[in-house]
Amino acid sequence: MDFRSLGNTCVVGLQWGDEGKGKIVDVMVEHYDVVVRYSGGPNAGHTVVVKGDKFALHQLPSGILHPRVRNMITGGTVLDPAVLLGEIESLRQRGVVISGENLRISDRAHLLFPYHRQQDMLAERAALPGSKIGTTARGVGPCYADKVSRRWGVRVCELYAPERFRRRLGEIIAHKNAYLAALYDVREPIDASATTEEYLTFAEQMRSFVCDTTIELSQAIAERRQLLFEGAQGSLLDIDHGTYPFVTSASSGAGGVASGAGIPPTSLKSVVGVIKAYTTRVGEGPFPTELRDHVGERIRESGREYGTTTGRPRRCGWFDAVAAGYAARLTGPTHLAVMHLDTLSGFEQVQVCVAYRAGGRALNTFPADTYSLMEAEPVYETLPGWKESLGACRRFDELPRAARNFVETLGRLLSAPVTMISVGPDREQTIFVDKGR
């Protein structure tokens, strides 16, 4: 596949996250010059497997495993310095080269503090049954909330004015202590002085990475370098267009690229929509095709469906073309990547949800009312399954006829060509459709 012809490209999930975006970025990245994380924070969990070695990335872009590639964490993200620096050190111990040459961090990114994690856990713990969001408890939601409030958010650039940072963080922590005590009866206050000094130490450790990424991206665009934008979470978790309130706190779809990275919208030329051959979800929220039986358990175990960030078992169900079709309409994928096709091997039949039934009527559109969606029942199209193992397939025509038919059905339902198919976790277990027919 000629990735260079795609121009500046966004890789984005068309489901509720965990689609396999990290692997697709890793597969594509050797054809690009810059990989950009434009939203999200340490709640992301991208898994890349290289020759059997597994790398779990949270803050760092998936291109970090390629030393030639420049990686950027831009202003639309939130940054937990402790997680970032720990991840850098862990990768360095495994021989991955990370320096100011191949990692750049926006001075406009917002900082995540320990009190954000505390707020996240306490709010979820205090929520009434049925109103829990299913957060990863990494503090990302409260950090974005502080950003939007305009009063309590702190950006990376503020670390480099130490005296002002000390004063400001002291005021913020005084507010947080009062807030946590009043709302959650927290008796042990946060130590403002210790937190401040810890973050000023982080600032020195990060100094060589920090810059104005908008300038570097503008220069890269002017020099016609190839940019690959890596989405975090999935389009159905988008704060504006997802299954609110069971969403993330950022613009996780392709629409978030321009605002999150700080580039003109016209800079993006292609969108690779990533889908699993089935559907998964972590945490709470509607899931019309969820399988709460042995079939769902079989998919979970075969697909190793446990959260990269939290380790929680993922909820599993058949492919939902109504939900993914809605995400595709918002995102406009020029290409599709179908992941975990191998997981469905062994089923005599596979099912695809093509409509919903709710309140005595059929729905072929994705409703805005999340609570109505919770009551929706799937209407399935049944397709023949296949028994063969797919892990060794490297060409489209090597796949069983039923598997090829299934893939083509997904492309038809989402109105975009399938150009990549994953048949295993390793980067080598990838079929490029236009080379393999």
According to DSSP, the β-strands at 319-320 and 349-358 are: parallel
How many residues are recorded in the chain? Answer: 437
C-alpha to C-alpha distance for 136 and 278, rounded to whole angstroms:
22
- Give the side-chain half-sphere CA count within 13 A for 298: 11
Neighbours of 72 (CB within 10 A): 29
DSSP string, 381-398: EEEE---S--TT--SGGG
Cβ distance 264 to 405 under 8 Å?
no
- Give the side-chain half-sphere CA count within 13 A for 240: 8
Q: Which residues are designated catalytic? A: 18, 46
Please report, in angstroms and rounded to a whole number, the separation of the first and last CA atoms in the chain.
12
CA nearest neighbour of 42 among 205, 232, 240: 232
Neighbours of 313 (CB within 10 A): 14
